[in-house]
Amino acid sequence: MDVFIDVILPVPIPQFFTYRLPRHLAELAKVGCRVVVEFGKSRVMTALVVKIHGNPPEKYPAKYIQELLDTEPVVTPTQIWLFQWVAEYYMCTAGEVMNVALPSGLKISSQSKIQYNPDFHHDELLTDLEKSFMDVLIREDSISYEEAGRLLGEQDLNKFLKSLVAKHAIILFEEVNERYKPKLIKKIRLHSDYATDENALMLLESLGKAKKQQEVLLKYLSIIPLDQLSEKNEEGIDKQRLKEAEVSDSALAALITKGIFEQWEVQVSRFDSLESDSLREIQLSPAQEAASDQIMGLFSTKDVVLFHGITGSGKTEVYIDIIKKALDSGTQVLFLLPEIALTTQIVRRLKRVFGDTMGIYHSRFSDNERVEVWRGVLDQKFQFVVGVRSSIFLPFSNLGLIIVDEEHESSYKQFDPAPRYHARDVAIMLALKMKARVLLGSATPSMESFYQAQTGKYGLVSLKERFGNAQLPHIRLVNMRVEREKKTLTKEFSSVLLEAIGQNIENKKQSIIFQNRRGYAPYLNCQQCNWIPHCNQCSVTLTHHLNARTLICHYCGYSESVPRVCPACGSPHVRSVGVGTERIEDDLREIFPEAGVLRMDLDTTRTKNAYENIIGEFETGEVDILVGTQMVTKGLDFDRVNLVGVFNADKLINFPDFRSGERAFQLITQVSGRAGRREEKGIVLIQTNNPANRVLQYIVDSDYEGFYASEIKEREAYNYPPFSRIIELTVKDVDRNLAQEAAEVLAKRMKDYLGEQRILGPERGLVERIRNKFHFVIWMKLEKEKMNIQATKQYLREELVHLITEKKFKSVQVVVNVDAV
């Protein structure tokens, strides 16, 4: 009987593909194993086995797979289910989900690059052919899969590479700039011939003449005593330990050459470098204790609990307590964090408590490190993983608890390539499937989650006092109109803010200034002819970056140098208009020449450790002021900060989007929470033109519930989430009219199906043109109670196919974003 497999391929085609297994692999393949297959005429890629069966496809002959990569599954059945659920819900393909789920180290593809492993020194393991292949690799540094294929001619390339990978001679990687240097340590142990007490003693005697060698052996036996040799010799000791004991290098080398000692290398996970020595006990305050007990109590009746703890209330300690309980009961735990917060203090704190049993899954780590965590989770070496969005796709088999910290964070929603999934919502779905519990935590919960808690679907636990003696900061609005009239502004600073900063510098306290706009100024303007430089591919002005001396498009990345005179009229009077973080930094340096000023935004945190460095410097260095974008609002915890300044609050609030109020409330509350986290009460100064604004008033009062109550009414009145689901359709084309027409046709068809009131738009995109494509946006509002979401999505799918098969619209692209945030 022939054996066939259905596989998921990493392509945006909504179906499985059926391949044939060669006889000798028929017994070996399992669901969840990876296979290498040829797809189309010239593509080779890794596919995932999701079904094994005996039915040959009727309409085409199945190709043979090229190779089976695993004998044991690397993906669990639950994950395969999850990939399909995400694909269905977010309207993309299982292949796209698999693509973000698997670290690229688990995907050999024709796009892969091959690099030699610089730490490989075992030429004797290689065949002649492999040796000559390695010579080419060393010479070329890295080669592509195709080039390797050409080099090998008739040889079976995949088998060949697999063997080299198994010998650790080569490394496969996706991007040329991400080189993997495995961290290796050298280990030493006695050859097994001597690994009993009497043999070791005989050996010691026989080394009588070689005093130095004897010394080495004695040192070794002082670390692993004679009576424990039989059990402990096997795992050996770090070579470093002998070196530290200052034994003779040459004597040690001689013993190794003689074969008395064996030396080998082990790869160590680089997470170990985070200190984990003192597994610390934590002490909960009575309020924290109570919160923890409430959460555990609610878990007996609710699958999801929302933990609303104000900024500085010490949510982390409560999390730790809950995590311990979950781990004690023998289940795996996943702790999700927004990308930006992961590198901060919280991870260090968790690591200190949980040590090596904790895995970290982060996009700043190399792919190989992500593979380490993947495998660690698979064979249950890691019971506890702290990770970003995509760690929801790790191969857990026994998950008992998922914590989503800062659950309101919009970065949990993936934006650009499909799948446009929301990690919090996927977490809830996955937990349901695995009978795990979910703990959502935030100082400013999303409207969606708080609504679920209010209506009793989620449990709710609140922690409303700050940890220790800390008080909530005093929040004050600074009326910029008044300051402008009284002419008390200095550049973009109100007198109130400047005075507070000055005072803080004197008192050796620190200040954080939040401005949600990077660069020096949003645009340039010629004072003579009013010329403003725009991006020629996008309908936005170019942002002025002073240090880099460039004008940059924040949408497509285009950049040009700053003109010295106006290119339109030749006037030298070109000035920067508006305020970005760079300008604030510059102006502060000018106003307070003696102060230390640091800036933290996308531009200053590009390089690998820049983020940690800035935080480290702010913590310990002579820094008075930290200026930054969103980045400064998340998870920072510094003792000496007691002033937070907020620029341009109005811009946040007036953003044309139904979520702008919620977002502004969250952002400003979060950044305010950075102030006064210890004994001294902090101050927050918010610069605004409109102090009477509803959202600002709730912020001043630190009144989350009040804000929620007022906001939820509006959401209900206009039928926005949480009362409805929103599916956003973005219609794009290089031809503006075509994009608009297609959008109108699509909107019309959806209106006919769903009714006028459920469709908004099409409207011009907020930025109408990006990378030369014109954007029109349609929103579908689907009431949660009444609508059959499944059927609507099915109809939409059909209409999308319908639309792009009309040859007029064939160049048009439609991006579907379910639950757009």
Q: Per the annotation, where are the binding residues for Zn(2+)?
A: 526, 529, 535, 538, 553, 556, 566, 569
Q: Considering only residues 395-414, where is the footprint of DNA by CB under 7 A?
A: none
Interface with DNA includes 13 (CB under 7 A)?
Answer: yes
* Region class of 203: left (phi > 0), else alpha (psi between -120 and 50), else beta: alpha
Interface with DNA includes 62 (CB under 7 A)?
Answer: yes
Region from 60-68, 114-122, 208-216, 312-320 binding DNA, contact rule CB under 7 A: 60-68
* Both tokens assigned to 737: 């009219």
Q: How far is the CB of 304 from DNA (least distance, A)?
A: 35
Give how far Cα 735 sits from Cα of 444, 739, 742, Å.
42, 6, 11
Q: How far is the CB of 40 from DNA (least distance, A)?
A: 4
Q: How far is the CB of 110 from DNA (least distance, A)?
A: 6
Interaction mask 788-817, DNA, x per CB under 7 A: -------------------x--x--x----
Q: How far is the CB of 43 from DNA (least distance, A)?
A: 5
Three-state DSSP class for residue 153: coil
Q: How far is the CB of 389 from DNA (least distance, A)?
A: 21
Interface with DNA includes 487 (CB under 7 A)?
Answer: no
Q: Name the pairing type of β-strands 625-628 and 641-646.
A: unpaired
**What proportions of the chain, in percent to the nearest 5, are helix, strand and coil?**
40, 25, 40
Pick 40 or 593: Cβ nearer DNA: 40
Task: Kindly tell me which residue out of 41, 209, 487, 508 binds DNA, with binding defined by CB under 7 A.
Answer: 41
Q: How many chain residues interact with DNA (CB under 7 A)?
A: 25
Interface with DNA includes 40 (CB under 7 A)?
Answer: yes
Q: How far is the CB of 73 from DNA (least distance, A)?
A: 21
Half-sphere exposure of 618 (CA within 13 A, CB side): 26
Three-state helix/strand/coil letters over 303-326: CEEEEEECCCCCHHHHHHHHHHHH
Region from 40-48, 386-394, 593-601, 727-735 binding DNA, contact rule CB under 7 A: 40-48
Region from 10-18, 25-33, 692-700, 752-760 binding DNA, contact rule CB under 7 A: 10-18
Q: How far is the CB of 6 from DNA (least distance, A)?
A: 8
Q: How far is the CB of 158 from DNA (least distance, A)?
A: 16
Interface with DNA includes 151 (CB under 7 A)?
Answer: no
Closest CA to 603 of 542, 637, 552: 552
β-strand partners of 725:
782
Interface with DNA includes 63 (CB under 7 A)?
Answer: yes
Three-state DSSP class for residue 403: strand
Region from 57-65, 385-393, 559-567, 770-778 binding DNA, contact rule CB under 7 A: 57-65
Interface with DNA includes 19 (CB under 7 A)?
Answer: yes
Interface with DNA includes 145 (CB under 7 A)?
Answer: no
> How far apart, in whole angstroms, are the C-alpha atoms of residue 441 and residue 308?
6
β-strand partners of 184:
267
Q: Where is 804: in which H helix or E strand? A: helix 789-805
Region from 11-19, 457-465, 521-529, 672-680 binding DNA, contact rule CB under 7 A: 11-19
Q: Considering only residues 259-288, where is the footprint of DNA by CB under 7 A?
A: none
Contact 570, 556 (CB under 8 A): no
Strand 43-53: give its sheet, edge to edge.
63-64, 17-21, 3-8, 43-53, 34-39, 67-68
Q: Considering only residues 101-130, where is the footprint of DNA by CB under 7 A?
A: 110-111
Q: How far is the CB of 805 from DNA (least distance, A)?
A: 9
β-strand partners of 777:
730, 763
Q: Considering only residues 753-772, where is the footprint of DNA by CB under 7 A?
A: none
Task: Kindly tell me which residue out of 22, 26, 38, 165 binds DNA, with binding defined by CB under 7 A.
Answer: 38
Pick 4 or 393: Cβ nearer DNA: 4
**How many residues would you count in the chain?**
821
* Both tokens assigned to 80: 């395969």
Burial level of 204, CB count in 10 A (0-12/13-18/19+)?
Answer: middle
Give how far Cα 637 sits from Cα of 255, 279, 670, Å.
52, 21, 12
Interface with DNA includes 11 (CB under 7 A)?
Answer: yes
Residue numbers of the site for DNA (CB under 7 A)?
11-13, 15-20, 37-43, 57, 60, 62-63, 110-111, 807, 810, 813
